[in-house]
Structure 1
Amino acid sequence: MEYADTVFYNGPVLTMDAAAPRAAALAATGGLISAVGAREEIERLRGPGTETVDLAGRALLPGFVEAHGHPLNTAFTLAPPALDVRPFGLPDGASVYRAIRRRLAEKPDEPLLAYGIDLLLQRDLEVPTRALLDELSPRAPLVVMTNSGHAAYANTPALRAAGVTRESADPEGARFVRDAAGEPTGEAHETAAVTELSRVALAGVTPQSALAALRWTLRRHAAAGVTTVADLACAPAFLPLLEAAAHEPDVPVRTRAYLIGDEALAADPGRRFAGHAPAAELCGVAGVKLWADGSPWQGSVATSFPFKDNAATRRIGLAGCPHGQMNYRPEQLADLAAAFTAKGFPLACHVHGDVTADAVLAACAEAAAQDPETVRRLRPRLEHCGALTAEQFRRAAGLGATVSLFVDHIRYWGGVLDHDLFGRGRAEAWMAARSALDAGHRISLHNDGCCSPLDPLSSVSTAVTRNCDTNGEVYGADQRLTVEEALRAVTADAAWQLHLEDEVGTLRPGMRADLTVLTADPEAVPAAELRRGVRVCATYLGGRRTFAT
């Protein structure tokens, strides 16, 4: 008899396998699950060298799969030397500027990236104009990035270091805001422009410090129960950094990169999709990513319904402009979708507004008209999906596309959607997870990297309760999921979106032994207690423990 390396027993095993959803014990051997079943059956696999894990009533689940993460961005924006000024830890503007001033007093001549302001949650925050940032840091580059990642503010030294002048052309799908005289104000919108500014604030980062920051980030993922994370914003130049981390002997998380899908990559004849790496390879390329629109918190999503006209929307720059806009013309989206489909790349497209969704779906339909079977095989993804309608979810499913929802928008910004931006009816239909499931999708739920605290259990809780923390309101009770459906969206169905469903995401023999141990059975606690009453207490990647409390 071949004895198991590890046996888990004395707690519920939630397999996420529809054929056998629950078991009493599990055995792992050589990094794979070797048996799942009754305790007495698994006990027979215990040998002299077998490690036994007494769950003591705790629950064993598949390792969480973060289908839309940003470990690289998180490493650069939250790990030292960057400064975390997000509203989750600094709820008001006064604390934000105290933190920035404190850091600048310590290191006045070093560039600084302060990440995470939110003009809608940090209500008293003074907008960081170029003049204000010059006063704070007259000599060294200072860049303040919004929590959405879709806007940034820079001082004069940062603009100078980035080479941004009145003559500078706007990057593809992005722009530098200019005053009436054509001078850059220091404000930048969308990924390409924001990246140009943030890069100068991170000028002191070395390859060694970047790898250390990525290690820090991946350890945080393991502490949240994550065993696989997709990086949805990987510049090709940073792919070697992910690969270097993956080759370290104690790497805690598997990564899958979606390359930034710009026109240069689409036109590069040498760039074709090489195929999905097996799960044993801890780093691989999974597709390309486009940003069809921006963030509702910046007013940069294209909707058929208007933003409100009030102090909040004027604060984010929407005065006299009730509708946001897309980052591409529809024909540009169609050309890019066709080019990447022809190269074999699975496509992930950031889309919030329903107008944007129509353009993205039209681009997918045009690609499918040329080769419908290839499109279905590639499983194009629509990311976030804030304002998508039931009809749009059905159209996406009909094309073979799939959807990933940033459902914690409801937890943190439900009140903002309701009172500040659109109104209650729109807030209740935001992140319409039930509509997506009813349309036939295998959805994933995600935290979007550093845009919200990394916590798959929070996504599960929000999907089940639709509760907003800031005001206690429930938005969209008819869009609630069951606990089982929400758990599948952070395990089995998220793995399917990454084309890893035959190796991770469910607990059955032959699958990778990617495991998460929770303090309690999430299907046995009241829905209201999911967020705070259930915690991760251990994580295993291929049978190797990567986190334990």
Structure 2
Amino acid sequence: MADTATPDLLVRGGTVLTFDPAGRRASALAARDGRITAIGDDRELSALAGPGTRVLELGGRTAIPGFVESHNHPLFFGFALAAPVDAGSPPNDRIADVVERVAAAVRERPDGEWVRGFRYDHTLLADRRHPTRHDLDPASPRNPVVLTHVTGHFCTVNSAALRLLGIGRESPDPPGGRIERDAAGEPTGVLVETAAFLVNAQLPAPDEETVAHALRLADREYLAHGITTVHDTGTGLFGGPGELALYRKLSAAGELGTRVRSYLAHQAFAGEDGRMPTPAQLGDAGDGERFRLAGVKIIADGSIQGGTGCLAEGYHRHPDEHGMMLQSPERLAEMIADVDAAGWQAAVHGNGDAAIEAIVSAYRRVDSAARRHRIEHCQTVREDQLDRMAEQGVLASFFVKHVYYWGDGHRDEWLGPDRARRISPLVSARRRGIVHGLHSDTPVTPVPPLEGVWCAVARRTRDGHTLGPEQAVEVEQALRAYTVDAAHLAGEERESGTLETGKYADLAVLPDDPTAVPTEALREMRVEATVVGGRVAYEAGA
């Protein structure tokens, strides 16, 4: 199976896992003009090489299709990488550690300049609460400070920031959000859901180079972990509508190594009437190989670990609390119908089963199978909801890393043991034929797809417990959910996700065959090279 044209790239000397329908394995691969031209053995394909052929020697290593990250936030990730304050845990154990980092950043800046931090997680801090303005004010009396939660669904600000944002005692809660208040009714600085989103909209807009630098930083990390395509599920959420133009500019200039499939943040691009422009109105032909508009992202509810994911039954420790919808079910259905009518694929964030119920019900009013409408995270989806998703052709991108990073909290605090063991029910979804991807939601959790594969296979929590072993899948099934099935979510299974002639020459090189190593080795395995469009975009140590 070989094209006789001289290849630009020859990969040989190891194992090539094609993940094609027949599950074939080979030892070599050839590519030209960004596409795979041949799959075969070393001797056969080496004969095709010419003076200009780049040869990538596997040396016994394994090449697999490049990972397709089906739910990520590149700009949010890049901002977190470049931020003056790393508020995450690790490295911070207590709120006092975060405050110390804020104080250090303030000392390096003039009065009045904003100080931003990212990744704080109140569930991992010894204090077991969000930082407040009372914590931040002593460290920054004259500089406004905003710390964004690891989920993006909360932020906390100091008093200087509250004044600039015009948030005070009399400020009403925005629809779908909340301003946390103390016993006296004064804002604590903690802003929830749409209240937190409004802060991003009111902060001083970063200049173009700052945004470009953040996207480049994220891109570099994706390539280092074998990701060749990323679904940006929320373009414009952190950079506004101008983010789209910058993406196009960077892509045209060849400054981004990964392919980007953009799902536009509904709140950033909908008109004053709440309706979305069509793809044609945004100038998208739908055929960009490096950057392409794929759909529209809508947020239905919050996060389970933040207590804002919308549950049909109450939270385990607080049974009278059910979380919150950011849109009413009626408004959500209107938004989805409008997105569908405008010609977009919908990707709707739904963590709690009450939110998923509203999404599935709304999708029943449109042709979900034709548009390949999706549910993002789909964390607590019930068996009856999976039945209807299968019937309606609804796809899912599961946030499987929840099992490790917050599984213990789901079991003991938020969901209780029965509901917790069913988060990210991959086996139940596969049994019904629901096509699904897996994702990291970076910067919410670390990037590596192989860690996500391990989560899907081991179902291990931070404390070392197994959570819902009946929902654990085989390694190859998890790898497919990070490759060809994830490509299917954006309608690209004929272009990428497997290594076959005519498809993109997108692949990752691993030190070992991931289908033949102990389960625990999956999490520690590192990507040694990444190829995008037949070009070696990353090599470890290079």
Note whether the superposition's TM-score is higher than 0.5: yes
The reply to whether residue 119 of structure 1 matches residue 119 of structure 2 is no
Distance 1:120 1:484 in 2: 33
2:298 pairs, out of 290, 301, 320, with 290
Q: Which position in structure 2 is the counterpart of 1:546?
A: 537
Q: Which position in structure 2 is the counterpart of 1:13?
A: 16
Kindly indicate whether the alpha-carbon contact (under 8 Å) linking 2:395 and 2:489 is maintained by their aligned counterparts in 1: yes
Distance 1:146 1:377 in 2: 36
Q: Which position in structure 1 is the counterpart of 2:433?
A: 440
Assess, with a 3 A threshold, how the Cα gap between structure 1 residues 395 and 161 changes in structure 2: closer, same or farther.
Answer: same
Assess, with a 3 A threshold, how the Cα gap between structure 1 residues 505 and 263 changes in structure 2: closer, same or farther.
Answer: closer
SS in structure 1 opposite 2:528? strand
Assess, with a 3 A threshold, how the Cα gap between structure 1 residues 237 and 268 changes in structure 2: closer, same or farther.
Answer: farther
Q: Which position in structure 2 is the counterpart of 1:387?
A: 380
Q: Which position in structure 2 is the counterpart of 1:315?
A: none
Kindly indicate whether the alpha-carbon contact (under 8 Å) linking 1:113 and 1:198 is maintained by their aligned counterparts in 2: no
Distance 1:171 1:239 in 2: 27
Gaps of 5+ in 1: 310-317
The normalised TM-score by structure 2 is: 0.92
Distance 2:225 2:531 in 1: 11
The normalised TM-score by structure 1 is: 0.91
Kindly indicate whether the alpha-carbon contact (under 8 Å) linking 1:279 and 1:503 is maintained by their aligned counterparts in 2: no
**How far 1:181 moved relative to its partner?**
6.2
Letter in 2 for 1:104: V
Kindly indicate whether the alpha-carbon contact (under 8 Å) linking 1:276 and 1:499 is maintained by their aligned counterparts in 2: no
Assess, with a 3 A threshold, how the Cα gap between structure 1 residues 171 and 283 changes in structure 2: closer, same or farther.
Answer: farther
Letter in 1 for 2:300: A
**How far 1:418 moved relative to its partner?**
1.4
SS in structure 2 opposite 1:153? strand
Assess, with a 3 A threshold, how the Cα gap between structure 1 residues 81 and 299 changes in structure 2: closer, same or farther.
Answer: closer
**How far 1:233 moved relative to its partner?**
1.2
Q: Which moved more, 1:428-437 or 1:271-280?
A: 271-280
**How far 1:155 moved relative to its partner?**
1.2
The reply to whether residue 103 of structure 1 matches residue 112 of structure 2 is no
The reply to whether residue 255 of structure 1 matches residue 260 of structure 2 is yes
Kindly indicate whether the alpha-carbon contact (under 8 Å) linking 2:99 and 2:135 is maintained by their aligned counterparts in 1: no
Q: Which moved more, 1:418-427 or 1:510-519?
A: 418-427
Distance 1:453 1:287 in 2: 24
Distance 1:88 1:26 in 2: 41
Q: Which position in structure 1 is the counterpart of 2:497?
A: 505
The reply to whether residue 273 of structure 1 matches residue 276 of structure 2 is no
Q: Which position in structure 2 is the counterpart of 1:536?
A: 527
Distance 1:238 1:249 in 2: 16
SS in structure 2 opposite 1:298? coil
Assess, with a 3 A threshold, how the Cα gap between structure 1 residues 345 and 44 changes in structure 2: closer, same or farther.
Answer: same
SS in structure 2 opposite 1:507? coil
Kindly indicate whether the alpha-carbon contact (under 8 Å) linking 1:350 and 1:382 is maintained by their aligned counterparts in 2: yes
RMSD: 2.1
SS in structure 2 opposite 1:296? coil
Assess, with a 3 A threshold, how the Cα gap between structure 1 residues 399 and 465 changes in structure 2: closer, same or farther.
Answer: same
Assess, with a 3 A threshold, how the Cα gap between structure 1 residues 144 and 268 changes in structure 2: closer, same or farther.
Answer: closer
1:426 pairs, out of 409, 419, 425, with 419
**How far 1:272 moved relative to its partner?**
0.7
**How far 1:200 moved relative to its partner?**
5.5
Kindly indicate whether the alpha-carbon contact (under 8 Å) linking 2:276 and 2:342 is maintained by their aligned counterparts in 1: no
Assess, with a 3 A threshold, how the Cα gap between structure 1 residues 499 and 79 changes in structure 2: closer, same or farther.
Answer: same
Assess, with a 3 A threshold, how the Cα gap between structure 1 residues 61 and 128 changes in structure 2: closer, same or farther.
Answer: same
Kindly indicate whether the alpha-carbon contact (under 8 Å) linking 2:106 and 2:143 is maintained by their aligned counterparts in 1: no
Distance 2:146 2:443 in 1: 17
Q: Which position in structure 2 is the counterpart of 1:68?
A: 71
Distance 1:277 1:516 in 2: 26
2:180 pairs, out of 177, 182, 195, with 177
**How far 1:165 moved relative to its partner?**
3.8
Q: Which moved more, 1:12-21 or 1:439-448?
A: 12-21
**How far 1:160 moved relative to its partner?**
2.2
Kindly indicate whether the alpha-carbon contact (under 8 Å) linking 1:111 and 1:142 is maintained by their aligned counterparts in 2: yes
Kindly indicate whether the alpha-carbon contact (under 8 Å) linking 2:374 and 2:397 is maintained by their aligned counterparts in 1: yes
SS in structure 1 opposite 2:397? strand
**How far 1:298 moved relative to its partner?**
1.2
The reply to whether residue 458 of structure 1 matches residue 470 of structure 2 is no
Summarize the alignment of residues 163-202 of structure 1 with structure 2, pairs less than 5 Å apart: 163-166=166-169, 168=171, 170-179=173-182, 183-190=186-193, 192-198=194-200
Distance 2:497 2:414 in 1: 37
SS in structure 2 opposite 1:119? coil
SS in structure 1 opposite 2:419? helix
Q: Which moved more, 1:156-165 or 1:514-523?
A: 156-165
Kindly indicate whether the alpha-carbon contact (under 8 Å) linking 2:165 and 2:202 is maintained by their aligned counterparts in 1: yes
Q: Which position in structure 2 is the counterpart of 1:312?
A: none
Distance 1:331 1:125 in 2: 35
Identity %: 37
Distance 1:127 1:264 in 2: 31
Q: Which position in structure 1 is the counterpart of 2:245?
A: 240
Assess, with a 3 A threshold, how the Cα gap between structure 1 residues 276 and 387 changes in structure 2: closer, same or farther.
Answer: farther
SS in structure 2 opposite 1:164? coil
Q: Which position in structure 2 is the counterpart of 1:299?
A: 307
Assess, with a 3 A threshold, how the Cα gap between structure 1 residues 252 and 11 changes in structure 2: closer, same or farther.
Answer: same
Distance 1:11 1:250 in 2: 30
Kindly indicate whether the alpha-carbon contact (under 8 Å) linking 2:66 and 2:497 is maintained by their aligned counterparts in 1: yes
Kindly indicate whether the alpha-carbon contact (under 8 Å) linking 1:263 and 1:336 is maintained by their aligned counterparts in 2: no
Distance 2:175 2:336 in 1: 16
**How far 1:40 moved relative to its partner?**
2.6
Q: Deviations over 1:7-66 (max 9, x none)?
A: 111111111211343221100111111101222322221122222211011111111111
Assess, with a 3 A threshold, how the Cα gap between structure 1 residues 167 and 271 changes in structure 2: closer, same or farther.
Answer: farther
**How far 1:277 moved relative to its partner?**
2.7
Kindly indicate whether the alpha-carbon contact (under 8 Å) linking 1:69 and 1:449 is maintained by their aligned counterparts in 2: yes
Kindly indicate whether the alpha-carbon contact (under 8 Å) linking 2:99 and 2:136 is maintained by their aligned counterparts in 1: no
Letter in 1 for 2:404: R
2:165 pairs, out of 150, 162, 166, with 162
Q: Deviations over 1:464-514 (max 9, x none)?
A: 11011x211010111011111100111101111011212111111111111
Kindly indicate whether the alpha-carbon contact (under 8 Å) linking 1:141 and 1:200 is maintained by their aligned counterparts in 2: no
Gaps of 5+ in 2: none
Assess, with a 3 A threshold, how the Cα gap between structure 1 residues 195 and 237 changes in structure 2: closer, same or farther.
Answer: farther
Q: Deviations over 1:144-200 (max 9, x none)?
A: 22111111111122122223345555445333334566543322111x421332456
Distance 2:409 2:15 in 1: 39
**How far 1:217 moved relative to its partner?**
1.1
Q: Which moved more, 1:339-348 or 1:114-123?
A: 114-123
**How far 1:245 moved relative to its partner?**
2.1
Kindly indicate whether the alpha-carbon contact (under 8 Å) linking 1:385 and 1:405 is maintained by their aligned counterparts in 2: yes
Kindly indicate whether the alpha-carbon contact (under 8 Å) linking 1:308 and 1:322 is maintained by their aligned counterparts in 2: no
